[in-house]
């Protein structure tokens, strides 16, 4: 079977937005909530507080995103819910009125598409919430409800709120706020398929699927793919799977997963022993122990060997998300770690994802701290923004950085060097994670050309010809990286 994935994803740079925290509209809008006292934007977030970000606010920031080089947005859930993160879905057909409702989303979607920016939504289809109409009917009517078989009811009476009694129904991860759907019920299955179809027809460009591995019903995700792709063959389907995802990446289900298997070794290499272990508690990815270049290269090669190349090019690569601490905080505040990891992210096969605020130096410990309000411009780290823009621009300029093959040229000690090759276009990337300057030389047989233009970084380099082979001599500054390309 020939595996097919959406072509646009291979050329995308994603930006992940947590809608309550990214931007609040500054324009007069018709709002349902006029005078609510929101939680202070720049105070540390609480688990249950709302800061009042909305979709009009995102629309007003599209110039900023376009200037950054972003051409795809992944939103964490936007549907009506009783939580600031909106994973407790009340109504899958209504955008939360606090975000502006369906009209605001339509306006934003059209504005994004006018700029060739794609929009992917978060699909939370494993569980709903206590406020979801069908489950609420069970709470009101008990065994008389017609919706009993939509959930996994285990006994009576149900205790949806009082933790001193058993819930008597299955909640996701034992959480009684999140009743799990019975996906073996054909009506439930059809309901979820129709939601997926509805929003694809509405104009979204894909789905990011929350905990899809929890849905064990045979054929479920195959049908999901078939029905979504029948409406839009270029729709992107990406699953939240933190581990080896071969089971779902066989070409019949997802186009990619959130690539924590890339994030973990990349952070372990770039941040090394700076990693703050407290920020990894309870998370199923392992950016530790510290890695040297050789071990990093081996781990990256393992990840590249896991899936077909067509799937590699549509993996959603990331360094942080709403489910992790922010990279700056994981790295103990070390900015060089963030820059080195970002360089590796934006030169890696697959589609890179920037977590909102990381590009201006926003810190944040584990949830809810990693979901802070986007900082005021006066608090931006402008040098961090500058290198993000530079790296994103290079990725857009050079096709080899998007779809070229990935070849490790040198991986010893603290220095890691690789090439991205597409036809005659050859790009060399080198990183030194040491705290001192390092000089290395490596023979380069894999390249036809001699990339002799410094596209990024400040380190020194020289090419030497040794008979039939070429040698690249690098004088790498401490905690630095570089990108080399052909002279124009």
Considering 20, 54, 96, 240, which one is annotated as catalytic? Answer: 240
Q: What contacts 354, CB < 8 A, 6 or more positions away? A: 13, 14, 15, 16, 68, 70, 388
φ, ψ dihedrals at 346, nearest 5°: -85, 0
Residue 171 tokens read as 């909640």
Strands 316-318, 256-259: parallel, antiparallel or unpaired by DSSP?
parallel
| Beta bridge mates, 480 | 432
User: Which residue's structure tokens are 């992917």?
Assistant: 120
Q: What is the DSSP letter of 193?
A: H
Distance between CA atoms of 332 and 43, rounded to whole angstroms?
21
User: For the chain, how big is the Rg over CA atoms in Å?
Assistant: 24
Q: What is the DSSP letter of 373?
A: P
Q: Which of 96, 122, 210, 426 is catalytic?
A: 210
β-strand 460-466 against 469-476: which pairing, if any? antiparallel
Phi, psi of 170, deg, nearest 5 = -80, 125
List strand residue ranges (DSSP E) for 246-340, in order: 256-259, 316-318
In the chain, helix, strand, coil percent, each to 5?
35, 20, 45
Query: For this structure, is 436 an active site residue?
Result: no
Q: How far apart are CA 176 and CA 165, in angstroms?
A: 11
412 is catalytic: no
- Residue 228 burial (CB < 10 Å; 0-12/13-18/19+)? buried
Q: Measured between alpha carbons, how far is 481 from 483 in angstroms, rounded to an integer?
A: 7
- Taking the C-alpha atoms of residue 30 and residue 27, their distance in angstroms, rounded to an integer, is 10
User: What values do phi and psi take at 14, rounded to 5?
Assistant: -85, 155
Active site residues: 210, 240
């Amino acid at each position: 079977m020939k595996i097919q994935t959406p072509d646009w994803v291979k050329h995308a740079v994603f930006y992940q937005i947590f809608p309550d925290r990214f931007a609040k509209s500054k324009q007069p809008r018709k709002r349902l909530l006029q005078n609510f006292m929101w939680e202070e934007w720049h105070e540390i977030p609480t688990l249950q507080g709302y800061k009042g970000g909305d979709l009009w606010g995102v629309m007003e920031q599209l110039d900023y995103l376009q200037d950054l080089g972003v051409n795809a947005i992944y939103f964490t859930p936007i549907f009506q819910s009783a939580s600031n993160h909106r994973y407790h879905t009340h109504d899958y057909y209504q955008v939360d009125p606090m975000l502006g409702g369906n009209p605001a989303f339509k306006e934003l979607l059209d504005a994004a598409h006018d700029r060739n920016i794609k929009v992917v939504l978060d699909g939370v289809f494993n569980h709903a919430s206590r406020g979801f109409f069908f489950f609420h009917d069970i709470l009101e009517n008990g065994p008389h409800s017609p919706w009993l078989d939509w959930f996994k009811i285990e006994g009576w009476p149900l205790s949806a709120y009082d933790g001193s009694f058993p819930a008597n129904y299955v909640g996701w991860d034992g959480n009684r706020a999140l009743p799990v759907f019975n996906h073996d019920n054909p009506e439930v299955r059809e309901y979820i398929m129709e939601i997926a179809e509805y929003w694809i027809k509405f104009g979204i460009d894909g789905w990011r699927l929350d905990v899809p591995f929890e849905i064990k019903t045979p054929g479920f995700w195959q049908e999901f793919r078939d029905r979504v792709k029948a409406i839009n063959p270029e729709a992107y389907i990406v699953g939240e799977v933190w581990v080896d995802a071969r089971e779902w990446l066989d070409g019949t289900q997802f186009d990619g997963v959130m690539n924590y298997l890339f994030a973990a070794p990349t952070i372990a290499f770039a941040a090394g022993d700076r990693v703050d272990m407290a920020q990894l508690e309870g998370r199923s990815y392992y950016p530790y122990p510290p890695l040297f270049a050789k071990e990093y290269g081996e781990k990256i090669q393992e990840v590249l060997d896991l899936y077909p190349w067509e799937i590699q090019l549509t993996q959603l690569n990331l360094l942080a998300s709403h489910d992790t601490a922010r990279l700056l905080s994981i790295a103990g505040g070390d900015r060089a770690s963030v820059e080195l990891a970002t360089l590796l992210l934006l030169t890696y096969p697959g589609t890179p994802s920037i977590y909102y605020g990381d590009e201006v130096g926003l810190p944040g410990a584990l949830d809810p701290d990693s979901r802070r309000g986007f900082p005021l411009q006066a608090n931006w780290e402008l040098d961090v923004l500058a290198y993000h823009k530079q790296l994103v621009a290079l990725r857009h300029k050079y096709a080899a950085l998007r779809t070229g093959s990935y070849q490790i040229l040198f991986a010893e000690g603290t220095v890691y060097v690789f090439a991205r090759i597409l036809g005659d276009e050859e790009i060399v990337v080198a990183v030194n994670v040491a705290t001192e300057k390092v000089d290395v030389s490596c023979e380069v047989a894999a390249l036809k050309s001699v990339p002799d233009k410094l596209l990024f970084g400040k380190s020194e380099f020289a090419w030497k010809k040794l008979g039939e082979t070429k040698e690249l001599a690098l004088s790498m500054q401490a905690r630095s990286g570089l990108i080399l390309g052909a002279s124009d």
